[in-house]
Amino acid sequence: MQENLFTYLTEYESEMIRLRRDFHRHPELSFQEVRTPAKIAAFYDALGIPYRANVGGSGIVATLTGTRPGKTIAIRADFDALPLQEETELSFRSIRPGVMHACGHDGHTAIVLGLAAAFHAIQDELAGTVVFIHQHGEEVFPGGCHPDD
């Protein structure tokens, strides 16, 4: 299974880069995330992976169950941006003045989506369940992860 997982991750590398650049180009501040969770949900819709939307606000929690019994693991990524001006000349730099992904949340989200696609591709080999958590509002207190959710 591990070898197949790495094979699929390698195949999805360009898609993860594309997603990361898209999220980087379109950052959203904490509790103002609309486009990003919609893109995440559309990704899971395309794969046919069930998910819950609007968790704790605009969070997404997707669940992939293997064909054999086993443990449950969770993989988490946050997707909010910071109130900072991007000063790069990258082709995928932020198009929102004063808002940028400066600490990797764009990458976290793209990687978790790539992992979801790879695990989905080997779902028949999977023992157990993988829960993919996409947290909004992580950069502020109290953030988008509440004990009551």
Query: Which residues are marked as active site?
Result: 80, 138
Pairing of strands 59-65, 127-135: antiparallel
The reply to whether omega before 142 is within 30° of 0 (cis) is yes
* Helix runs in the chain, H state only: 2-11, 13-25, 35-47, 105-121
Residue appearing with tokens 């591709």: 121
Judge whether 125 and 1 are in contact, CB under 8 Å.
yes
Report the alpha-carbon distance of residue 141 to residue 107 in Å, rounded: 22
Report the alpha-carbon distance of residue 113 to residue 57 in Å, rounded: 20
The H or E element spanning position 62 is: strand 59-65
